[in-house]
Structure 1
Amino acid sequence: MYTKPEFAPLSRGEVFGLIEAAAFATVVTTAPEGLMVSHLPFVLHPRRGENGTLVSHLAAANPHAVSLIQGHATVAVFNGPHDYISSSWYPHNPVRDSAPTWNFAVVHCHGRPVRIDTLATARHLLELVEVLEKDRPDRWRMRELGPGGMERRLPHVIGFEMPISRLEAKFKMGQDERLYDTAAAIDALDKANPAPAALMRKHNSHRD
């Protein structure tokens, strides 16, 4: 992934935080027939392995499952806050001569997936529900599937884990733009899309 030093994350924790907040990734795997692409939910185990380990599942009927369980090179792409940055927000100082752009945060997790057994897949599904249902009002619980509900579904699901061999992160948040332009964009986004505005403010707080 192309990036520049000023777009580096502030910490490993920020990278893991984006993965956990997104929870959903575009997954691309090399295969003899070409690239395979799926969109899957993940649970991150940040302390398993040098760069953490991702755990997910997909339908056994999905052709992508074959490439995943064969351990082909794979990347999971997690998207964070992003938005279009309009030059119309920039001050006339003396002219608005900066081009519009797109600010975004993204993490690429590279690795080779490994299939997990049925018991581990069941544990993963329980954990995934716990993570995604946490703090929801009237939250749903796996036991609501009823007797045999999990057992009926497990044969149709393939679980896998992917130790992250390489992490790439890019937080392009206006750090390379004139500060007064970035400040104006933050003010405009505060009203329309506060999540990227907050990240822009965080990643430009060191600038005078």
Structure 2
Amino acid sequence: MYSKPAFAPANTHEVHEFIDRTVFGTLVTKSPDSLVISHLIFIVDRTRGPHGTLVSHLSRTNEHASLILQGAESAAIFVGEHGYISSSWYPGYPVRDSAPTWNFSVVHCHGRPRALDADGATAHLRDAVRHLEQGRDKPWGINELGDEGIARRVANIVAFELSIDRLEAKFKLGQDERLPDTRAAIEHLQRDGGCPLATRMEEKNRHRN
């Protein structure tokens, strides 16, 4: 993935936080004939693998499932906050000589998936529900399905883990623009409702003088 040093994450922890926040990703796997693509949720285990390990699941009837079982080369892609940055927001009118751009955050996780057994799949579903229900009033727990309900659903999925062998992250959030322009863009986005993109841009440019 093309990037610049200015767009690199501070550390792996920042990337894991991004995946935790985003959760929903796109899995791309190479088949003999084409690329197979599925849109899935992912939970990141920070304790295993050189860059952590992703855990996910998909329907057993998905054509992707056979490639997962084969351990085919794959990449999981996460896209976070993004949006158009207009030069009309920049100071210096009537001369605004910075071009408009698109700011975004994206992470690519490369590796080969490994299918989990029924116990591993059940543990993954518990972890996923716990992660997604955290902070809710009266959070739902998977045990509410009952043993039969859990077993029936586990039988219909292929759960897998993907140890991240290669990790690419690009957080393009105005770090390479003139600071007054970036600050003006943040202020404009905040006035439009304090969107998450403004929050991320502020975080990545806070250290600049």
Length-normalised TM-score, structure 2: 0.95
Rounded to whole Å, the distance in 1 between the matches of 2:162 and 2:155 is 21
Rounded to whole Å, the distance in 1 between the matches of 2:153 and 2:50 is 33
**Aligned positions of 1:168-207 closer than 5 A:** 168-192=168-192, 193-207=194-208
**Aligned positions of 1:51-90 closer than 5 A:** 51-90=51-90
Rounded to whole Å, the distance in 1 between the matches of 2:184 and 2:198 is 10
- Residues 53-77 of structure 1: CA deviation (Å, up to 9, x unaligned): 1111100000011112211111111
- Residues 122-155 of structure 1: CA deviation (Å, up to 9, x unaligned): 1111111111111111321112223511111221
Pairwise CA RMSD of aligned residues? 1.3
The unaligned stretches of length 5 or more in structure 2 are none
Rounded to whole Å, the distance in 2 between the matches of 1:105 and 1:145 is 36
Per the alignment, in what secondary structure is the counterpart of residue 196 of structure 2? helix
Amino-acid identity (%): 51
CA contact (8 A) 2:77 2:109 kept: yes
Per the alignment, in what secondary structure is the counterpart of residue 182 of structure 1? helix
- Correspondence for 1:130: 130
Tell me which moved more, 172-181 or 51-60: 172-181
Paired residues, number: 208
Tell me which moved more, 84-93 or 175-184: 84-93
Rounded to whole Å, the distance in 1 between the matches of 2:67 and 2:78 is 20
- Correspondence for 2:12: 12
Rounded to whole Å, the distance in 2 between the matches of 1:153 and 1:134 is 22
The code of the aligned residue for 1:198 comes to: T
Per the alignment, in what secondary structure is the counterpart of residue 25 of structure 2? strand
Rounded to whole Å, the distance in 2 between the matches of 1:180 and 1:94 is 15
Runs of 4+ more than 4 Å apart: none
**Aligned positions of 1:137-152 closer than 5 A:** 137-152=137-152
Rounded to whole Å, the distance in 1 between the matches of 2:49 and 2:20 is 17
Per the alignment, in what secondary structure is the counterpart of residue 146 of structure 1? helix
Length-normalised TM-score, structure 1: 0.95
The code of the aligned residue for 2:119 comes to: L
The unaligned stretches of length 5 or more in structure 1 are none
Tell me which moved more, 192-201 or 68-77: 192-201
- Residues 2-47 of structure 1: CA deviation (Å, up to 9, x unaligned): 1011111122211110011111111101111200000111111111
Alpha-carbon shift at residue 93 of structure 1 (Å): 4.9
Rounded to whole Å, the distance in 1 between the matches of 2:176 and 2:143 is 51
